[in-house]
Amino acid sequence: MKNMKHNLKRKLMIGTAVSAIAAATAVSAEVSDAKVSVKAMADALHLVMDSDRSVYTKKIVNRLVKKEKVIKASEHFEDEKALVLPAQMFRFGSEMAAKRAEKLDDVNFSYTLQSLWPINKQNAPKTNAEKAGLKYVAENKGKNYYTTEKLGGVNYFTAVYADTGVAPVCVSCHNKHPDTPKKDFKIGDVMGGVVIRIPVEG
């Protein structure tokens, strides 16, 4: 008797789960056909990467390096048992995302952190869109730069967003780095930019 009741309860539960899955599938088919513009996609991607970057810099690097002085952040983080630099954190994420996106048919985008005043010359802008975008976001605080460009026969939507000195440690580390071409960054200054590139048809 106890078992029968149990089985009935189980059947009911399975039935409910099956109809819930059916409803969810029906909705998701409709939803997956809905369109999002490339600009909205780039803006959303940037919001996530910029928030993660700010959280890492403020809550981990600035707190432990500058306020509590318990550890340093260094390019040579393995040898020196130090924290990964915010720019390295960003690049490692970008490299992992690129690798994982290769296996996904519908996911195609890339992103980099660059600057007109780079510590690492590899982070200088290369394409005309990157150069124009970095200049624009540095001169027009609070505004983003959007354009299209053709590279290697592929058309891209390219967005450039300001990368701002949000924590004291951003400014102090850059100003005193031996390879920096600029030593007078202040908190709140635009220090570079994030370039997001999405291939588009046509």
- CA–CA separation, 154 vs 202, rounded Å? 9
- Rule CB under 6 A: is residue 130 a binding residue for ligand HEC? no
Residue 90 neighbours by CB distance under 10 Å: 22
Maximum separation of any 2 CA atoms in the chain, in Å:
81
Strand-pair partners of 192: 163
- Rule CB under 6 A: is residue 196 a binding residue for ligand HEC? no
φ, ψ dihedrals at 114, nearest 5°: -135, 175
Shortest reach from residue 44's CB to ligand HEC, in Å = 20
- Rule CB under 6 A: is residue 160 a binding residue for ligand HEC? no
166, 136 contact by CB (below 8 A) = no
Shortest reach from residue 51's CB to ligand HEC, in Å = 12
Shortest reach from residue 113's CB to ligand HEC, in Å = 5
Give the total of residues touching ligand HEC (CB under 6 A): 27
Q: Coil, helix or strand for 124?
A: coil
Select the residue interacting with ligand HEC from 85, 129, 137, 195 (CB under 6 A): 85
- Rule CB under 6 A: is residue 192 a binding residue for ligand HEC? yes
Select the residue interacting with ligand HEC from 94, 101, 109, 123 (CB under 6 A): 123
Tokens for 156, please give them: 């891209």
**Helical segments of 72-167, H only:** 86-101, 128-139
Select the residue interacting with ligand HEC from 94, 110, 120, 175 (CB under 6 A): 120
- Rule CB under 6 A: is residue 162 a binding residue for ligand HEC? no
- Among positions 46-75, residues that touch ligand HEC (CB under 6 A) are 57, 61, 73, 75
- CA–CA separation, 128 vs 151, rounded Å? 11
- CA–CA separation, 59 vs 4, rounded Å? 55
Nearer to ligand HEC, 72 or 149 (CB): 72
Which stretches of the chain bind ligand HEC, using CB under 6 A?
57, 61, 73, 75, 85-88, 113-115, 118-120, 123, 163-167, 169-170, 173-174, 177, 191-192
